[in-house]
Structure 1
Amino acid sequence: MATQRTTTKPPKNLAPAPVPVEPVPCQPCGGTGNVAITVRVGRKRRPVGQQDGLCLNCLGEGIAPAA
């Protein structure tokens, strides 16, 4: 008959569950996805106002892209 095992295995060190990381807002648009673009008119291209444009850094998502 086989000998009976009397010792127990040590518990495995399990890594703690990863903490969910909150997304960082995009720097140029501040997390809105839009940036102000100056509108220029006339022959001398004088600025007359601003309009909203798509943020080219995050492509309108508002979340900073992963490096």
Structure 2
Amino acid sequence: MMKVAEKIGMKVEARIRGARMVDGEYYDAIKMGFYEKGGKSYIFFNGQEEVKRKMKARFFFILQMKL
């Protein structure tokens, strides 16, 4: 999902390491976003990335828009 967000122009704005625990495993919280022209609306992507040595990624996402 992060690749899709990057392709539409979103950038990582924050990464909070080990912020959440799901099924006994820690996940990073990743915040991605961009402003449209004129700064009228802000869209962000809220994802979680599994923290492991091999960095296998599992993502949960919420896409929100404020006008």
TM norm structure 1: 0.23
Quick check: which one's strand share is greater?
2
Structure of larger gyration radius: 1
Q: Which has the higher contact order (CA 8 A, sep 6+)?
A: 1
TM norm structure 2: 0.23
Quick check: which one's helix share is greater?
2
